[in-house]
A and B are shown apart, each in its own frame.
Chain A
C-alpha cells in the first residue's frame, strides 16, 4: 500500500525507504496508508484482510504508548496477527536493529522509529508481489 504524507499529501510508493527521514517533499513525519485499488482481491495470503474497509489508515494506529525499546505494535482489527512482527527498529539516528527473519519471511516491513517523536511505519514491501509472480 502506498503512503500519503498527512501534511503535503504527496504519495509514496510501497516500501519507499525515502520516508525513513520523514517526507522527502515537506519533511513531515506522519503518513497515511492509501489503499491501492489495483491490489484489491489479490491478497490470497491474508484472508482476513478486507481491502474495501481499510481505505486510509493512520500510522498512529500502530503506535503504542510503551517505553522506547519495549514497544509492541498495537493490534488493529483488520491486520492479521502474522503481519505485526517488527522488522526494523530505529533506536536513535544511526542506530538500527534488524529482525532478519521477519525481513526475509514477512511480506511487509514494519518499522519502529524512535526519533523525532516516535511513530511506526508499516511498509508493505515488494516481496509478496514478486513471490506471487514466481508461483
Chain B
C-alpha cells in the first residue's frame, strides 16, 4: 500500500511538471500486436488528419520507432501538444519461425526477426527521451506477462508517467478489468483503437495527465 501511494505521488508531481510545459513527448509501448500503431494512427488522424504507419496482424510489423511531432489534443478545456512515438513491439524472444508461420519466406523471415530485435533495442533507447508513456495491452490476453511486468516496473523506477490503454474491447472475450486488477496503481482506459470505442475518454485522460 505504502509503495503504491508513493508511486502515485511521484506520478502526480511528474504530471504537474508536464502540465506546466503543455508539451510532452509520449511513447506508445506494448507487446507486439497489441494495437500500438492502430492507436497512433487513430490519434494522429483524429487530431491532424494524417496517418502514422502500417498495421498488420503479423507481429513486429513496426520495426523502427516513428515519431510524429506537434499533435495538439484538446479535451475538457485542457490542451496539450504531443510528440508521439510509435515503437516496435517489445518481446523477450524473436524467432524467424514465427514469421514463416505467417507465410513469409525464410530469408525475409530472418531479416524481419533481426529488424524486430533491433527495433526492441531502439524502443528501449527512446524511453530516455520521453515525458510519458501510453502502454497498450490487448485486453483479450493475460496481462501478467514478463514484458508487461518488466516494462511497468522499469517505468515506475524511472518515475515516467504511465497511462494504460486496455485495447480491443470490441472483442467479446476482452477483459480490461483483468488488466486493472493486475496493475491497479496506474490509470487505465479501456478502448478499441480499431472502432474508436471510448477513445474520447483516452483523449480526456491524455489531456489531463500529459497536458
Q: Which residues of A does B touch, CB under 8 Å?
A: 17, 20-21, 88, 93-101, 103-105, 109, 125-127, 130-131, 134
Contact = CB atoms under 8 A, between A and B. Distances in A.
B92 interface: yes
A111 B130 CA distance: 25
Given A98-B120, A101-B150, A103-B124, 16 more contacts: A93-B96, A94-B109, A94-B110, A94-B113, A95-B97, A97-B92, A98-B91, A98-B92, A101-B154, A103-B120, A104-B154, A126-B128, A127-B124, A127-B125, A127-B128, A131-B128
Nearest to B116: A96
Interface residues of B, number: 27
A88 B150 contact: no
Nearest to A17: B118
B154 A105 contact: yes
Nearest to A123: B121
A114 B110 CA distance: 15
Interface of B: 90-97, 109-110, 113-114, 117-118, 120-121, 124-125, 127-129, 146-147, 150-151, 154, 157
A99 B94 CA distance: 12
Given A20-B114, A103-B120, A109-B121, A98 B96 contact: no
B105 to A, nearest CB: 12
B113 A95 contact: yes
Contact of B150 (A96, A104, A127, A134): A104
A101 B124 CA distance: 10
Nearest to A21: B114
Nearest to A105: B154
B173 to A, nearest CB: 27
Contact of A98 (B94, B109, B128, B154): B94
A97 B94 CA distance: 6
**A21, A100, A101, A127 pick with most chain B CB within 10 angstroms:** A100
Contacts of B93: 96-98
Contacts of A17: 118, 121
30 contacts: A17-B118, A20-B118, A21-B114, A88-B121, A93-B96, A93-B114, A94-B109, A95-B95, A95-B96, A96-B93, A96-B95, A96-B113, A96-B117, A98-B92, A98-B94, A100-B92, A100-B151, A101-B150, A101-B154, A103-B121, A103-B124, A104-B124, A104-B127, A104-B150, A104-B154, A105-B157, A125-B125, A126-B128, A127-B125, A131-B128
A32 to B, nearest CB: 22
A95 B96 CA distance: 6
